Chains A and B, each alone.
Chain A
Amino acid sequence: MAETPEPFKRLLALLSEVEEIELENFKLEAEELTLSLTRAMMPAIMPAMPAPEMAKPGLPTLPAFQEVEFKSPAIEYPGEIVEVQLGATKSEGGTREYVVKLGGQKIMPFYRFLGPTPNPPVVSLDVFDMPLKLAKAVRSNIEDVMEDPAEWAKRCINKFGADMVTIHLISTDPYIKDTPVKEAAKVVEDVLQAVKCPIIIGGSGNKDKDPEVLTKAAEVAEGEQVLINSADLHTYKPVVEAAKKYGHIVLSWTQLDINNQKKLNTLIMDEGFPRERMIIDPTTASLGYGLEYTYSIMERIRLAALKGDEILQMPMSSGTTNAWGAREAFLSNKKCNELGLPWGDVALRGPMWETLSAMSVMLAGADLLMMMHPGAVAGFKALVKAFTDDTSRDMPPIGNWVTMK
């Protein structure tokens, strides 16, 4: 015989007495039960109340209004995100004018009802060591500085409001320009001279050459606590060694696979590398082309971290620029017309694509957003501010939207 759950027993008890119970009283009791029970049983236990279809129009019986305080849910997470500092000032052995701190959260992203967000997400803008093909909306803002990474970096900080810049040494790829390691290191030095923000150094993605490139770059940036982008399952050993030797942070990068992320993080930690110097990047797919996987893997990582999984408690980074790989972001108006695609103006489509990708991954747990379009960055930074600002204020009336002309 199946066991009757406790609330149900009480309901059955109530049911047997239903005739003696005043409607008002019954309802007070019902509140102590679960409301879904009352919903399910409503027709059976409310003989005193006419069913809606039987009601005389205009004359149904209504209960009295009762104010019931709404209590915010309380959730406690046992774990928290490790705080990681990018950049080092003079007193810390570097030459940065400011540092950026990530992590420290004890709650899911912007669950303001549970607590504050200690280190709000930051933006790093992309700089490349050679001109490359970029969406027109992006290119038009930087066309005149694409030959000069240092100037490009300056513009990102001074004009576009980025917190950091990422210098991608893509020309080192043997299949692109095969730029010698020494030359690439010189570009890093130039950028460190040009801007005084913390920086991120990226390779070309060539697994054979990247360790050599990133090691040399780490050497010339010694003490600056740069973020090395990145260590993956193939390249982590030399990259971690260089970061250890020259005092940097490592980006632990895997591809949309939470188990691989745990594996790589463990391998890096096994090298004697501390969690306080690691950031994780589970890969950001573009809106419309796999963002759902990124979104859920980030949520899973952050939830696991807050529930106490120490291997996943590092801040997260997102290569949001991948948004520009979506055709919706770059396909010209002319091309859309030819193909019969009702997509609207590309000048807005592109930046919106990047903004929504950034906002979504931020809501899933990303702390560091690598972006490309100045307009998207401005909009995104305004959102970060509004999401974290919990000062109480008078809110404007909004119910009148119904009658606006």
Chain B
Amino acid sequence: MSKRLKPLDIFKYLPKTNCKICGEETCMAFAMKLIERETELALCTPLFDESKYQENKDTLIVMLRPPVQPVKIGTGEKSVIVGGEEVVYRHELTFYNETRIFIDVHDEMDSKELTERVNFVDEYTVFRIGVHLKLNGIAVRSVSNDPAKFAKTVEEILKLADLPLVLCTFDPKIMKAGLDAAKGKRPLIYAATVTNWEDIAKLAMEYNCPVAVFSTDLTTLNSIAITLQKAGIDELVLDPGTYFGENIGATLNNYTLLRVAAIEAGAESVGFPLMGVPATVYLEGDKGTESAWNETIVGSMLIDRFASMLIVHNVELWSLLALLTLRQTIYTDPRIHPAVDAGLIKIGNPGVDSPVFLTTNFALTFYTVKTDLEQAAIDSWLLTVDTEGIGVESAVAGGQLNAGAVADLIKETGLEEKVKHRKLIIPGMAARISGETEDSTGGWQILVGPRDSSAIPKFLKQNWEAEATA
């Protein structure tokens, strides 16, 4: 059902000279990499330089364009691409540009609140599995209805941080003031509607900025998008409206059908990134935790189902942690195998008396344990069992983490020559195999460690250092 290209589809339009200018051995290899988006067409310079290839080049440019257009918001280092997706199901390839999260502010916030909020968005980070997860930008709303105030707020934000912006107002006069204040910064214009589209289109052309189209009616949304494209504006973001609570099902349906239409049904008029506005939850008033909870649910649903960007109001830490972790989940490249190499590695500078920890070669488990040991500065040995990339609890249940495998690994890695003691600390979740492992390893004492590696420092204090000094 997916209309994914095959290497041959691309190959037949390439020069077929195997000239290697692109860095690949053959044109076929280049075609394969183009499909996986691991290289760029522009590297095939003959295609672009020689007039005889012009037709083919134009064909290839069209063929290789993702069915969901990539749209750039902002400038410089922190600018973001939204969209650029090719598949409905991530396993068919991968999703490329993770959902960009913008936090809202408005032009009647006092300077202190505005400063705090903007700085928070700029500085907030949470570290997970080797990656610093971050928020992406600011959505500025005009609530004062005053162009001057809106412009001033935009200026203030830009003085604080060089973050991508979404300018939010349906009034073209106010929008113009905002665009003047953000000149050259490529903010996203939010939004063109059925009533203001002409003025907004003119502004988009004048300031060369991407435009969001808003309508909860899909025919209207489609019509505005088509009209803007006719006007030559081809950097669009579509907002079919974010409902919440008992109406959330309508939103799920709209986002799903728009993405399926763009990718599987070839509806190119809606082949643009979708944006969601979980902040609509606050139309019911700010009910504190309840509102933040509901906003997190809507936002998460839209991360699962196809929103390329979100505008979020709450900045509760538990909520952002959940949204950003889910985003990392969905946008992880499924082509990368979840297993790391098995064996023995050093953490810090371990010696003959250093503790030995056991973990599995499931990448997430391995990196979590490794990071925890490194952060706690524990000089130690980390023994990694090949569990076929399965985590501790499941590998014990499934039998991949077993006494025999541990005994073999101790032999293979020469661990017995590296440490004087014979104590192995296994994960708390592998407690069940401790008895068998003592038997199979012949002479090793198995210490059952904590269920979570964050508790290792405390565990060592109670079980390792105490023993060493005894």
Contact = CB atoms under 8 A, between A and B. Distances in A.
A55 B141 CA distance: 28
B247 to A, nearest CB: 6
A326 to B, nearest CB: 9
Contact of B231 (A60, A205, A287): A60
A52 B228 CA distance: 13
Contacts, number: 314
B65 A36 contact: yes
A190 interface: no
A331 interface: yes
A396 B245 CA distance: 11
Given A110-B256, A173-B432, A345 B318 contact: yes
A401 B319 contact: no
Given A60-B231, A359-B304, A343 B317 contact: yes
A4 B59 contact: yes
Interface in B172-212: 190, 193-194, 197-198, 201-202, 205-206, 208
A402 B318 contact: no
A227 interface: no
A119 to B, nearest CB: 16
Interface in B97-150: 106, 108, 124, 126, 128, 141-143, 145
Contacts of A118: none
A317 B398 CA distance: 17
B59 A256 contact: no
B89 A327 contact: no
B293 A57 contact: no
Nearest to A306: B1
A383 interface: yes
B267 A73 contact: yes
B326 A386 contact: no
A123 interface: no
A356 B249 contact: no
A70 B318 contact: no
> Is the contact region of chain B dominated by helix, strand, or loop, or is it mixed?
helix
A71 B289 CA distance: 39
B365 A402 contact: no
Given A359-B304, A389-B249, A5 B316 contact: no
Contacts of A51: 232
Interface in B270-322: 270-271, 277, 279-280, 282-283, 289, 293, 296-297, 300-301, 304-305, 316-322
B241 A398 contact: yes
Contact of B61 (A40, A64, A405): A40
> Is the contact region of chain A dominated by helix, strand, or loop, or is it mixed?
loop
Given A112-B249, A395-B243, A39 B229 contact: yes
Contacts of B201: 60, 62
Minimum-distance CB pairs A-B, first 8: A344-B317, A344-B318, A73-B265, A35-B268, A70-B222, A52-B205, A296-B91, A63-B230
11 contacts: A34-B266, A39-B234, A52-B208, A112-B253, A206-B432, A295-B329, A325-B393, A335-B454, A342-B126, A343-B317, A356-B322
Interface of B: 1, 12-13, 55-56, 58-59, 61-62, 65, 89-91, 106, 108, 124, 126, 128, 141-143, 145, 168-170, 190, 193-194, 197-198, 201-202, 205-206, 208, 214, 216, 218-224, 226-227, 229-234, 241-243, 245-250, 252-253, 256-257, 260-261, 264-271, 277, 279-280, 282-283, 289, 293, 296-297, 300-301, 304-305, 316-322, 325-326, 328-330, 332, 334, 338, 362, 364-365, 368, 375, 390-391, 393-394, 396-399, 429, 431-432, 435, 451-452, 454
